[in-house]
Amino acid sequence: MDDFHNGLVEKIIKELDNVLAKTPLTEFDIVPVESTKNKTPVLHVNSSVALESWCVKHVYNYCYGDLIEDFLTHPKRRLSRVSSLTYKRIMLLLNPTLLINPDVTTLWNKRRELMSKRFLDWVAEMQFTRLVLSRKPKCNDAFSYRRFVIDHVMRETSERPPHFVSTILEDELEVCTMTADKCPNNYHSWDHRRWALEFAWKYRAEVDSTLIFYNEYKFIVSWTGHHVSDYSCFHYRQYCLKKLNLLDERWPVFEKMLEADLRENVQKFIETRDPAQKTSKSFKKTIEDEDIIAYLFDYVPNECSCYTKFYETCRKIEIYIYELTQNNDFVKYYKYHEALWYHRRFIVTEILTTMYDFFEIERVNGKLARKKLSPDQMEALQKCKKCGSRYSEVTKKELDWVYHCPLFKILIQHEKEVVAERRKDMDKHAGRHENYLKCVHGLAAHY
């Protein structure tokens, strides 16, 4: 490039730098403009900033070239070490380069170095990466850099004001929603969202992680409802399901949030396939978890006082039956969507696993076996006379007694009906679902 162009690019990047210093900016883009028209190619409207396309090539080549020449390729040269004299120049070149092409890990690493040496303001860094993601919502380097900045700032801020963690979390969830919105099947965005929830869990002393997970589940139920072919968001839904705090006393609050009566839903699920239960007095709303367990597992809890286990098992059954009945409506309404059927596999697997867990058995190499318990688990189990002796009886009785309990029978009948109905609609996934149950879960003999 000649001197004229160099001078022009310097002018452009300084102007961009001025705009970037203005907060809050939320969107960056490159707008297709071919002629130079004698005015600035840096556009700034409200919270959006853009570059006209004609200047992009010049700006990128100039900035990237300078960065490589002066700051990146000669590690022993004085300039390549960041100092208070050089960091402003580096940032002046780095910002436009990364905005235009954010998929260069070396450049992000330079930013990491500047951040570690405390040259950068983390709030500004979060804004910058948001701009990058607004144009390239799948940019994993930008997500990864956000995580780095947050980890850094958490280490550096030992005395944190009350809403510090929750504000960070809100921002991350917002960025994830924005990037998932812009780009379907955005695995990196959902992965970052998972990280954000792990972050909430890590700092649960400072945020209400139970409520956050309840809210996230509600969010993802609604989101997946609008993105039925996007498996990456279903994968996140499965993650949220496993993170739900089943033992928290605010479970009724969670039901209100979902606008669902989970117990009633289980009741309907059973009554449809076992009409005798409709008239049975024992199956009313006021019944205890033990009564549900007694019916579904054909297990009389006399002398058994494992209330936590009953409670947890009941909540699991409730939430997974809720998932299953929701999925019924979806496979019926949005036909032939593989993601919905894959999610169904997950739900059925979880229901079966809940049953196996309840009886302390597991599937090993395609066969049911007594679960191997650690000495601690064994001790806890034997604290209850009934559960302790049941565990040792499992070997005597046939292991597949789990296949004879009402929950299992109802579940299989339910799956058969759904598969048969979907088959009528020529949904080829229905047959695959049946094969999955028969082959992967070894249910062929019980189907």
Indicate the residue among 387 and 402 with the shorter CB distance to Zn ion: 387
Amino acid symbol at 261: D
Indicate the residue among 255 and 290 with the shorter CB distance to Zn ion: 290
Q: How far is the CB of 384 from Zn ion (least distance, A)?
A: 3
| Pairwise CA distance, residues 45 & 364, whole Å | 61
Q: How far is the CB of 306 from Zn ion (least distance, A)?
A: 3
- Dihedral in degrees, nearest 10, Cα atoms 365, 371, 376, 382: -170
Tally of CB atoms within 10 A around 177: 14
Give the range of 137-145, 289-297, 299-307, 371-379 binding Zn ion by CB under 5 A.
Answer: 299-307
Indicate the residue among 116 and 389 with the shorter CB distance to Zn ion: 389
Q: Is 156 exposed, middle or buried (0-12, 13-18, 19+ CB in 10 A)?
A: exposed
Q: How far is the CB of 361 from Zn ion (least distance, A)?
A: 15
Q: How far is the CB of 309 from Zn ion (least distance, A)?
A: 7
Give the range of 51-59, 147-155, 319-327, 380-388 binding Zn ion by CB under 5 A.
Answer: 380-388
Indicate the residue among 268 and 390 with the shorter CB distance to Zn ion: 390
Give the range of 45-53, 172-180, 197-205, 302-310 binding Zn ion by CB under 5 A.
Answer: 302-310
Taking CB under 5 A as the criterion, which residues in 46-105 touch Zn ion?
Answer: none
Using the rule CB under 5 A, which residue among 384, 403, 412, 421 binds Zn ion?
384
Indicate the residue among 134 and 313 with the shorter CB distance to Zn ion: 313
Residue 304 engages Zn ion in binding (rule: CB under 5 A):
yes
Is-contact 43 49, C-beta < 8 A?
A: yes
Q: How far is the CB of 23 from Zn ion (least distance, A)?
A: 59
| Pairwise CA distance, residues 120 & 112, whole Å | 9
Indicate the residue among 146 and 309 with the shorter CB distance to Zn ion: 309
Q: How far is the CB of 419 from Zn ion (least distance, A)?
A: 36
How many chain residues touch Zn ion (CB under 5 A)?
Answer: 5
- From the list 113, 167, 96, 179, the residue with the least C-alpha distance to 143 is 179
Is-contact 413 348, C-beta < 8 A?
A: no
Longest alpha-carbon distance in the chain: 90
Indicate the residue among 305 and 349 with the shorter CB distance to Zn ion: 305
Q: How far is the CB of 400 from Zn ion (least distance, A)?
A: 22
Query: What separation in angstroms does the CA of 45 have from each of 16, 200, 258?
Result: 13, 35, 39
Compute the C-alpha angle 47/50/52, nearest 5°.
160
| Pairwise CA distance, residues 263 & 271, whole Å | 12
Indicate the residue among 59 and 402 with the shorter CB distance to Zn ion: 402
Site string for Zn ion, 203-242 (x = CB under 5 A): ----------------------------------------
Chain centre distance of CA 169: 14
Give the range of 113-121, 157-165, 172-180, 300-308 binding Zn ion by CB under 5 A.
Answer: 300-308
Q: Is 118 exposed, middle or buried (0-12, 13-18, 19+ CB in 10 A)?
A: exposed
> Phi then psi for 47, rounded to 5 degrees?
-100, 15
Give the range of 11-19, 245-253, 304-312, 438-446 binding Zn ion by CB under 5 A.
Answer: 304-312
β-strand partners of 29: 50
Give the range of 152-160, 336-344, 381-389, 404-412 binding Zn ion by CB under 5 A.
Answer: 381-389
Indicate the residue among 180 and 317 with the shorter CB distance to Zn ion: 317
**Three-state secondary structure of 155-221:** HHCCCCCCCHHHHHHHHHHHHHHHHHHHCCCCHHHHHHHHHHHHHHHHCCCCCCHHHHHHHHHHHHH
Indicate the residue among 94 and 304 with the shorter CB distance to Zn ion: 304
DSSP 281: G
Indicate the residue among 59 and 306 with the shorter CB distance to Zn ion: 306
Indicate the residue among 292 and 331 with the shorter CB distance to Zn ion: 292
Is-contact 50 76, C-beta < 8 A?
A: no
| Pairwise CA distance, residues 151 & 212, whole Å | 20
Report the relative pairing of strands 48-52 and 27-31 from DSSP bridges: parallel
Give the range of 94-102, 200-208, 231-239, 384-392 binding Zn ion by CB under 5 A.
Answer: 384-392
Q: How far is the CB of 304 from Zn ion (least distance, A)?
A: 3
Give the range of 26-34, 81-89, 213-221, 303-311 binding Zn ion by CB under 5 A.
Answer: 303-311
Taking CB under 5 A as the criterion, which residues in 306-345 touch Zn ion?
Answer: 306
| Pairwise CA distance, residues 12 & 17, whole Å | 9
Q: How far is the CB of 294 from Zn ion (least distance, A)?
A: 13
Q: Which residues bind Zn ion (CB under 5 A)?
A: 304, 306, 384, 386-387
